[in-house]
Amino acid sequence: MAANDAGPGKDDEGRSPRRASWRGSATATASPSGYRWRDRGEKSNREVAQQNRRRRVKLALWTGSVLGLCGAFAWYWLMRPRATPLLAVSITQYIAPLPPNSFAVEDVTRLSDVARTASRGSGMLTVKSSPAAADGSDDERAAWNSKSADALLKQVGQWLERATPGGPGRRMLGSGGTVVVYITGHGAVDEKGRACIIPADAAKSRDAAEPAYLKSDRWLAVADVVQRLDEIRPDVNKLLVLDCNRLDADWAIGLLYNGFAEALPAARGNAKSVAILSAAQAGQLAWPGVELQGTPFGFYLSQALIGDPAADDDRNGKISLQELALFVRTRVSNWVRANRYDDQLPLLVPEEADFDVVYNDLGAVDVVQPPDAAKIQNEFNELQPLWSQLDDLWREHERLQGPAENESSPVWSEHCLDWHRFQQELVRCGSLLLAGREYRDECGACLSQLKSLAQKLSRRRQEALPVPSLPLARRWRKLPADGPLREEVAGYLQGEKKSPSSEVKGDYFVRADGAWQWLATGRAPAGQDGRDAGRRAVDFVDAPAPRDKYDVVEIRFLKLLAAYAPDSLWNQADKQLLPVLKLRESAEEAAAPRDVRAHYALRRRVERADADLRRLEDALFINDDACKQAGPCLARKQDYESAQRDGERLAEILAKRDRAWAELPYLAQWLLRRPDTPDGGDVEAIGKISETIAGLRDLDVRLDAYLEDFLRNDVAAAGQEETLEELEFGTDKVDGWRRGVSMKLQDAVDRAVVKARDEVTLRQLVSLLASPLVSGHKRIALRRQYSDALQKPLASAGTSAATSTTGTSTPPAESGGDENVYLRRLTAGDHPALALVGWEATTSKETASNGKQAEEASWLRLARQGGDVRQRLLDLTENSAWGGLPRPSEPGDGLGRPPHGDDAEPAPARSVY
C-alpha cells in the first residue's frame, strides 16, 4: 500500500483529523483552495461589508429621524394654533357735558385677565391695551386719553403692522389669520352723517376759549379707521369691535339723534378685509351693568373671544364671526331685556360677513363669571357715603330753586350761569357714581366742587352792595318781612316794652324799618311830643349794634327832620308831615321794582315825580305856607303808584320769561327722549315745542323793543298800556305750556315713586333722573328705587344659562322699532334745538315714498341740523361775553341770559341747556 494512500481515520492527503477543540467544536475544514491566507481575506471582506451595511442603516435611520424631527418642528411651527391678537382702546377721560364712559376700563381689564387665565392661555387670545410700543408709556388710560384722532389712527395702524395674526384662519407660511381691534368711547354722527368716535383730546378743559368737542373735525371718523385697517395687510381678516353706543340724544354737543349705528354700513364701505361688530343697533343704547361690574356687551364678548364652547354652534373647534355675533347678540339681548326692560341687539356690518375668529376652548366655560351678590352689595355699600352727600346737595338744590323770600328774584334767575353749572354737575355726579371705579376719584372731586358752589350760591343771596333804601333792603334780603318785629319796635318806642329782643338790637334794618313804620303810619305821638318822638326813633336806630356804613335814605330824611324841621311841622304832623312821609315811601317803592330790569320802563316817570317830591320836601324846612302851597304836588303819588303797578307787571312778565328759558330746554329734551311706551308719548305736547320756542323768542323781541322805547323816547305809560297787555298775553301763553309740561313731568315722577319696583322700567327711571328739574326728596326716592333695582338678583342671559355648553344659540327677536317712533316724532319740521339757539335750519326737507328711505333721510337731516347747532354754539362762544350765551343787545336773544347781578365771567358754551 502506498505511503500516501489514505488509511483509516485519515483524509485524502493522509493527514489525521484535528481533534475537537476544547472550546466545544472542531475547526472548520480547510477550503479546497488549500491556502489559509486566502480564507482569512475572504472572511475579513464579508465582515467589512456587514459593518458598512450596518453603518449605512444607522446613518439612514439617524438622518431620517433628524429630518422627521425637523419636519415635525416645521409643521408644528407653521400649523400650530396661533393666538388671535386684540388691541383694546379705551377712552374714558371725558368732561361735561359729555357723560362718563361707564365701565370701559373694567371691560378692557376683564379681557386682559381672562386671556391670561383661560385653560389654553395665549392659544385663544392675546390682549394689548397700552400703546406703549410707540410712545414708551405704560399708563394705558393716560396714553389713550391723551391722543388726538390722528394719533389714535396712527397708533392703530402701527400696531397692525407689527401684530402677528392668529386664529383658525391663519394659513401655512403665516398668511391669513385674524386680528381684533376693540374701541370703547363715545360715538356720534357729524353733520355729514358720518359715524365718529369722540377722542378725549377733543373734550378739553371747560376753561378753554373754544369747546373742542363742538368741532366735529376733531372727531375720529370710523370710515378712516376702516380704511387704515383695510390698507394694511389686506390678506388678514380684521374684526373692528365698537362699544360706542353710549350716547343718546345730547343737545349740548349738537347730537339731536345718535345715528351712529345707521352710519356704520357707509363707514365700512367696500373694505373687504374688515367687519364691524357694534354694541347696539339703530335707535338703541349700549347699557352699562353695575351688576356685572362692566357692560353686558363687553362681558359676553369676552366670553366668546376666549373660546367659550357655547359660542361654537357647529362644534368644529372654531368660533366664526357669525357664531360669535350670534352668541353675543343672544346673550346681550336677553340680559338687557331681563334686567333693563329694553332692547339692545349688537350689530354686525356687513350682516353676511364671516371668518374664523378664535378656537373653541373647552376649559373656558367658567372663566368669565359675573360678580357674586356679596361683591355687588359691597360696591353699593362703598358708594353709600357718596350718595348721602349727593342727596344733601339735591336737597339744597330744591331749596335754592324754590320761591324767593321778600319778593326778590330767585337765585336761579339772578345767577343763571352758576345755577346752570350747579345742576348740570349734580346730574353728572350721579352718573359718575354708577360708572365704575375709574371715576371714583373724579366723583369725589365733583362733590367737593358742588359743595363750594352751593355755598357760593347761598352766600350770593346776600348782596354785598350798600343798601340805599328800605324797599331795596327787602328786595336784597337784608330785611326780614316780619310783622311781629315791627310791633316789637313800636311797643318799645311807645314805652310799652322796656327792652327790645336781641333780634331787633342786632339788626340795623329791623330797627330802621320799625322806626320808619312807627312814624309814617301815625302811631308816634303828635303835638308837642312830635319832635321828641322823631328824635327817639332816630336814636333807637343809631343804637350801638352791627349796621351798614350808610343810613338808608328814609332814616337820613328823618334825621334831617328831627334836627331842622320847624316845630309847627311836628305839631301838625298828620296834616303835613305824614303825607310827605307816605309819599317818600311810595317813591322808594317805585324806585325799587322787584325786577331791576323793569326800571328801564319806569325811570322817566319816577324821575319826574321825584323832582316835585324834592320841592315838597324842601318846603317842609322853610315855612308852613310853602308846605301848603306844595300840596298839589301830592298828586304825584298817582305817578308812583302807577309805576309800582307797571313794575310788578313787568317783573311778572320777566320772571315767567326767565323761568321758561330756564326750564323749557329740559322739558323739551324730556319729551323728545327715547319713548317709554310704544305710542311715543304725548304727541300733542311734542308738536307744540317748536311753536312755544318761537313764541318765546317773539316775546323776547317785543319785550326788548318795549324797554328800548322808554330808553330812547319820553314815552307816556298810558301809550304803552296796550303793548304791556300783549306782552302779558304772550307770556301767559308760554308759561301755560311750561306749566302743563311741568305737571306732566311731575305726574310721571309721582307715578314712578309709588309704583312697585317690578312695574317701573329702569328706562323710565333713567329718563327722569336725567332731568335736573326732578329735585329734592322726589329725586332721592327715584334714585333709591333705581339703586334697589340694580341690586336685585341677575336674570339669566343665555337660552338656558349664561355659561351653557350644550344646545345652540337662539337668535333674539328683532327690536320693537322704538327708534322709528322716535324718528317720526322728530321729522315734522326742524328740530327744536335749532329754535333754542336761534338758528334757521339750512337743511332741505327731504321726503321719500318708501318708509325706510324716509327714516334714513330723517336721521341724516337731524345730523345736519346737529351741525348747525354746534356751529351756533361756537359762534356764541366766540362772539359773546356772556359765557357762551347770547348778548342782551342781540334782538330776540333771551336764551337764559343773566337778568342782573351775575358776575358773567367769560366761559365756553358748554351747554345752553
Asked if residues 173 and 163 have their Cβ atoms less than 8 Å apart, the reply is no
Residue 656, all three cell numbers: 315767567
84 band by pLDDT with thresholds 50, 70 and 90: confident
Q: What is the SS3 assignment for 882-907?
A: CCCCCCCCCCCCCCCCCCCCCCCCCC
Per-residue pLDDT tens over the stretch 294-351: 999 999 999 888 888 888 888 888 889 999 999 999 999 999 988 888 889 999 999 9
pLDDT, average across residues 418-425: 91
Percentage of the chain lying above the pLDDT 70 cut:
72
Q: What is the reported pLDDT for 21?
A: 52
CA 184 to CA 105: how far, in whole Å?
9
The predicted pLDDT at position 331 comes to 94
Question: Could you give the CA distance from residue 524 to residue 521 in angstroms, rounded to a whole number?
Answer: 8
Domain chopping of the chain, boundaries: 34-80, 83-370, 375-459, 470-585, 591-754, 818-913
Amino acid in position 176: G
Given a cut of 80, is residue 809 above it in pLDDT? no
Provide the residue type at 486 as one letter: R
Q: Which pLDDT score, from 0 to 100, does residue 888 have?
A: 36
What local confidence, expressed as pLDDT, does residue 131 receive?
52
| pLDDT at residue 75, rounded to an integer | 63
Confidence category of residue 41, pLDDT binned at 50, 70, 90: low
Strands 125-128 and 166-170, sheet pairing: unpaired
Q: Which residue blocks in 89-241 are alpha helix, DSSP H?
A: 104-117, 132-135, 140-145, 149-162, 222-231
Task: Give me the DSSP letters along 704-755.
Answer: HHHHHHHHHS---TGGGHHHHHHHHHHHHHHHHHHHHHHHHHHHHHHHHHHS
**CATH architecture type of domain 83-370:** 3-Layer(aba) Sandwich (3.40)
Mean pLDDT, residues 706-725 taken together:
73
pLDDT score of 680 more than 60: no
DSSP 8-state assignment for residue 121: G
Please state which of the ranges 193-207, 241-255, 620-634, 732-746 shows the lowest mean pLDDT. Answer: 620-634
What pLDDT score was predicted for residue 567?
82
Q: What's the start-to-end Cα distance of the chain, in Å? A: 150
pLDDT the model gives residue 544: 67
pLDDT in tens, 578-611: 888 889 999 999 999 988 888 888 888 888 888 8
pTM over 0.85: no
Highest mean pLDDT of the ranges 471-475, 553-557, 716-720, 844-848: 553-557
Angle (CA) 773-775-778 rounded to 5° is 120
Is it the case that residue 652 has pLDDT exceeding 60? yes
Q: How much is the average pLDDT of 159-165?
A: 88
The answer to whether residue 136 scores a pLDDT higher than 50 is no
Edge-to-edge strand list for the sheet holding 220-221: 186-189, 195-198, 220-221
Look at 92-96, 162-166, 790-794 and tell me which has the smallest mean pLDDT.
Answer: 790-794
Tell me what pLDDT residue 490 has: 87
Residue 884: pLDDT band (50, 70, 90) is very low
Residue 828 CB neighbours (<10 A): 10
Are the CB atoms for 912 and 836 separated by under 8 Å?
Answer: yes
For residue 80, how many C-alpha atoms fall within 13 Å in the half-sphere facing its CB?
Answer: 11
Highest mean pLDDT among 290-299, 373-382, 411-420: 290-299
| pLDDT value, residue 624 | 55
* Range among 43-47, 448-452, 455-459 rated most confident: 448-452
User: Above pLDDT 90, what percent of the chain?
Assistant: 27
pLDDT score, position 499: 82
Region 865-871: mean pLDDT is 91
DSSP 771-836: -TTS-HHHHHHHHHHHHHHHTSPPPP-SSS-TT--SS-PPPPPPP--HHHHHHHHH-SSS-HHHHH
pLDDT score at 798: 52
H helix intervals, 546-682: 553-564, 567-571, 578-590, 599-620, 624-629, 636-671
pLDDT in tens, 733-764: 999 999 999 999 999 898 888 876 666 677 88
Q: What is the pLDDT of residue 579?
A: 85
Average pLDDT over residues 674-695: 69
Q: Write down the pLDDT at residue 184.
A: 94
- Predicted confidence at residue 674, as pLDDT, reads 61
Interval 476-496: pLDDT, tens: 766 766 678 888 888 888 888
Q: Does residue 308 or residue 385 have the better pLDDT? A: 385
- 173 φ, ψ (degrees, to nearest 5): 65, 20
